[in-house]
Amino acid sequence: MRGCGYARMVAGPIGLLIALVVQDGEVGADKVTWKLESVHHPFPNQRWILPEVDFWKRQSDGTQLRVLCSFAYTSDAQTYSSVNGKTLSVVRPESNRFWIRFEFDILSEDVDIAPFTTIRFARRPGDDFAANFIRVSFEYKQIEHMMFAKYDVRADCTHEIAVKMEAITKTISRSFAPKKEDISDEEQMAEPVHALSSDIAQTPPSQTRRRRQRWNANPGLCLETIRLSGAIVSGFEDEREHLLDNITRQAGEIERLKGNLATAKQQRDRLRWISVMDVVKAARLNRDLEAVKAGQAQEVTVRNEAVTELGRQRDELLSRFTLQALEIEFLNEKAALLGDQLNYQLDPTSKRHANEFIQRDGNRETHRGVTELERERAHLLAKVTRLSRELEEVKSQATRGSQEISRLKLKVAVLINERDNVQTQGSYQAQEISNLIGLTALLEQQRCSQQVEVNQQALQIMELENERRGLLTNITRQETNISSLKQQVASLRHGRTSLTQQVAALRHGRTSQHKQTRNLASGLLLASSAAVWKLAARAPTPAKERFEMAKKKLVAPASLVMGAGIVAVAAGVALKLARHPEPPAPTPVSPAAPANPLPRVYIAAEYHWPVIAFATVTVIFTTVAAVVLICDCCPRRRHPEGHWHGLL
């Protein structure tokens, strides 16, 4: 109990001293950061996955306790509020440096730089672990120390990096070796600086001052010089001396400030070194305290076992005392009985009766029995004496046992008090653990909410990626359509050129055809008019009249049918031209069509009215011819003067 109290009394001020260490005007660091960095990360691997990085601390009883980190972040600027027992993934950052930092809180009760003894992580076959070597370092009080420069993790198994206090001490000493050399160099330079400052402070007066002192000592020699120089020279000399004094004083002040600055730097580095060494010593004392606690716990266990053994021995002694008391009581009763028998035998009356009995009976067996009884009585008396002596010894042993039991009871009370203190500390620790569990649950809830946000952002990113892919697909499709449309435009331009050429040729041909048609229509009209006039003016003869009558009977129906057909065709062409005065649009030429397609035959706009006029004239002429034929074919009596005389 006292040892544990002394240990707490020592550990408390050490923790308070470490918590109050001041560095660069700020409170000493209460966090330690451990970093795992990939060494020579291969370029094809864009990720670095570390499955379930755990930190374990070995207890004094041989069990391992898991240590949780307070915060962790990676080199790809993705922060994690809680990464305990989770798989970590580092996406390739811009600096191409893959590392993960774990921060641990250092409490006043636990000043160990490494709050754990083992770093454990697994590398399973098929994982994108990428790195074959990692660099392990830790940062404390804004100073980074290298633990392992190149740790081999190429095997597909669970890797355990042992973190020992001796290795941490060597690492810190190796890191501070250049600082120590700088401090020694500055201490060596401090002596010349101090000597130079002393020389400057003890510099003798200048030549001008000595000259003035000499002139003041001999006023007769310098009287003329003083009169010639006057007050101006005197003022100039005074000002010059004053400036020289100021420069000398400022140089000394500068050197003094440089010395103070160097001393302050030395003190700061020395304080930093002392603080780090104090931390190391405190960690070592903490480890020794844990060892003492473990020894005390083991001693308490041994004492509990001793108390149990003493209780068992006490029960055995009590049982033995009870048995001996019963045996002594039985022996006392037997001794009393033998004493009564002896008294009876010693009684004269009894002896007389015995002699009479012996004489009367003559039986010597009874006398022998009495002798044996006397011998047995003497033996019993010796045994009673021995038992009395043993009883006294047992009583003395019982007294000593009671004293030992009281002393053990006192020890048991002390151990019970220590156990109560340990239970109280355990309750405090359980309360802290419950608080940490609550904080862990809160952090887990925050992590879940952040994970939900991350998942939502990932879904949004996936949607944006799908939309981007759809846009790229549409752009590709539109580019394909644009290229096909460009090909179609090129083919259409080629077709338009060929169609323009064909239209020009057709216009030229239609102009010539129009002239031929007009000439043919004029000739046909004149020929028809002449034939009709000649037929009407010629006088028929009887034979010829009969022939003409027969011919008319045969030709008249055919002429009527032909005239009706011509009228229908002319009317249809006229109606079509009247309904569609504009030419039809040319059919678009596809890429698979021939180079010079034949357009649909149509009549140009300038030929519409001539064709309509020709169709009208044809209809009128056909109608007149049909009427003449009908009238000529009617059976009537003709006038001999002429064919048309009867009509008149």
Contact (Cβ atoms closer than 8 angstroms) between residue 581 and residue 605: yes
Stated pTM of the model: 0.29
The 3 state secondary structure assigned to 554-613 is HHHHHHHHHHHHHHHHHHHHHHHHHHCCCCCCCCCCCCCCCCCCCCCCCCCHHHHHHHHH
Pairing, β 99-105 against β 22-23: unpaired
Say how far apart CA 201 and CA 322 lie, in whole Å.
Answer: 100
Tell me the pLDDT tens digit for each residue of 263-318.
777 777 777 777 677 677 767 777 777 877 787 788 778 877 877 887 787 788 77
Please name the residues in contact with 263: beta carbons below 8 A apart, sequence gap of 6 or more: 190
Contact (Cβ atoms closer than 8 angstroms) between residue 572 and residue 591: no
Residue 638 pLDDT grade (very low, low, confident, very high; cuts 50, 70, 90): very low
- Segment among 9-18, 322-331, 414-423 with least mean pLDDT: 9-18
Does the pLDDT value for residue 634 go beyond 50?
Answer: yes
Return the structure tokens found at 428: 């405090």
Please name the residues in contact with 36: beta carbons below 8 A apart, sequence gap of 6 or more: 50, 53, 99, 100, 102, 119, 134, 135, 136
- Go through the chain and tell me how many residues it has: 648
Tell me the pLDDT tens digit for each residue of 440-488.
777 777 777 777 777 777 777 777 777 777 777 777 777 777 777 778 7
Say how far apart CA 58 and CA 74 lie, in whole Å.
Answer: 27
Return the structure tokens found at 524: 């046909």
Does the pLDDT value for residue 226 go beyond 60?
Answer: no
CA dihedral 189, 195, 200, 204 (to 10 degrees): -160
Please name the residues in contact with 101: beta carbons below 8 A apart, sequence gap of 6 or more: 33, 34, 35, 72, 73, 74
Closest listed residue to residue 69, CA positions, set 36, 104, 35, 101: 104
Contact (Cβ atoms closer than 8 angstroms) between residue 70 and residue 103: yes
pLDDT value, residue 102: 86
Closest listed residue to residue 282, CA positions, set 87, 15, 39, 577: 15
Tell me the pLDDT tens digit for each residue of 617-633.
777 777 777 777 666 66
Residue 228 pLDDT grade (very low, low, confident, very high; cuts 50, 70, 90): low
Break the chain into its structural domains and give their ranges.
24-163, 496-633
pLDDT value, residue 274: 72
pLDDT value, residue 144: 78
For tokens 């003094």, the residue is 256
Top-confidence residue, 172 or 348 = 172
Residue 644 pLDDT grade (very low, low, confident, very high; cuts 50, 70, 90): very low
Closest listed residue to residue 97, CA positions, set 147, 37, 148, 34: 37
Contact (Cβ atoms closer than 8 angstroms) between residue 65 and residue 59: yes
Say how far apart CA 389 and CA 395 lie, in whole Å.
Answer: 10
Name residue 47's beta-bridge partners.
91
Does the pLDDT value for residue 82 go beyond 60?
Answer: no
